[in-house]
Chains A and B, each alone.
Chain A
Amino acid sequence: MTPGAAPAGGARRLTIAEALREAIAEEMRRDERVFLIGEDVGVPGGFGGAFGVYLGLTEEFGHERIIDTPISEKAIAGAAIGAALMGLRPIPDLQYADFLFECMDELVNQAAKMRYMSNGKLSVPLVLRCPVGTANRGAQHGQCPESYFVHVPGLKVVCVSDAYHAKGLLKSAVRDDDPVIFFEHKLLYGSKGREQAGGLDLTSPVPEEEYLFPIGKAVVKRPGTSVTVVATHISLYRALAAAEELAGDGIDCEVIDPLTLLPLDEETIFASVRKTGRLVIAHEDTLTGGWGAELAARVAEECLFSLEAPIRRVASRDVPLPVAPVMEQTVVPSLARIKAVIQSCCGG
């Protein structure tokens, strides 16, 4: 299948959680080196991972390949890195992206650098899946920390927003020889988050036949001519909703899901900006030092004379996350805020 192409009509619809589960099961069947290791991933009568993604996998693959661990993020990351160095392909799980900070040394100093320090003699093929995003869980269970990792040479960083790309990218990530940090938004898994996600249909068509989607490739979710909007995760859906609302006002948004933040698909994004002359970046990660700043800088360096307006960013406010829904919505990039910034960028 052509990367990024819409699946054939009539394809079944899956949630992201189902697509991820399918991707893991397929890769585990295909390659015996692939295994899962983390907190609450396979305990009988347990959760199947914090968000149910692994339900049923232990029955098929057994406890030797679905390994439950202590709540011990440094050990989980270290074990995954060490096993990857020995040629296995671990998929470690820490439950929440917020817990990545428990194992920053392992990720930043070991996983990202072992290949380089060994002069290419070693590689670290692992995929660390990380649920991100606000869901009234407060300051330590709702962060979007992807930008920290975009800053680390040696890592690859993926953000998925729909089932089709989630499956294709996770399969590519498992087969990739570099460490991949794979971010998924909690509200987009498709189970109970629908209302919080704003009534989104959280399923998307996923073909029965096997396919991969390449790391490093963005997709244009909605073609347009007035302004380029680059957005990830739930901000992507808000951007798409804003685009529909603005269409009536004569603002024709081109909405891009970058999917991979490191390496970034500059080609797709620059081509769009050169066409529209305007760029809005929306992400739930906080503003200062966020990946949007990096993208803005690159567009300013490479596409300045195509720009007809200043680049604009919509991101979470630079505060920790509060729990109260009314406060939380003030912090994250809401539909209203994204829409207003697009309007402003277009001179509205």
Chain B
Amino acid sequence: MTGPRLVRPATLDAALAVLAEEPDARCLAGGATLVAMMNAGLAEPGVLVALDGIAELRGITVADDGRVRIGAMTRHRETAADMRLAGGHAVVRQAASVIANAVVRNMGTMGGSIAFFDPAADYPPALVAADAEIELASAAATRRLAAREFFVDWYTTAIEPGEMVTAIHLPPAGTQPSIYRKHARTSGDYAIASLALVLDGAGARVAVGACGPVPLRSDAAEAVLAGRLADHDAVAEAAALLAAAADPVDDVRGSADYRRRLIPRLLQAAISELLDTREAA
């Protein structure tokens, strides 16, 4: 029995060249998910392309206009500790801070996490609510996709063969607060349900995690919330729209019915908390 061949390119171009040539190559980011899958026999890549030597994939840069670029190889711990991710970007930082446990946060990366895309993971709803764009590169081209387009279905993303996630881009955020609320059985677990909320003008962007194949966002619900965040009836109406649009499953973390019941509660709690924060500020 032979394991996969490990290559450790020093540049992004070299990594992309391997991906172009080797159809059974998989990118090894932090290993938090892929190594566990390999141990369980669920992934058997022929070639592992270790990305930890590629400097251009690492780190967070904040442009003068407030746009943020998070390199795909940025560890959860780095994202969780970067206080420049404030206001409307705080939702991403907060999501990073509650992923699994400290050991996983030391190794796991944003690129690795979203490329695998467990719908119960923490980044997907946070990035969708933050209106993030995902930067994808192949040997042939580079492109950007809205997070909403990137997450396609259970464990399925828009990544094409030969492509990899190279960065996550956040648009400039206002000073209005944002929040990520995760409800899990224990602190180290995947979410039973989660909710990312970003105040936006007089309204809000909302994404629900772990309640369907992709992070749930509802334009109709957000339209109801616009200008009526402090209105309990409006919040209840938006929550009902979200709950109706959800497509949760029964699993060992919770039933579909429970998840549906959680959505309005998480939304109401998150909105009250953010409005309190905004008033205090």
Q: Do A and B come from one complex?
A: no
The chain B residues found within 8 Å of chain A, CB to CB, are: none
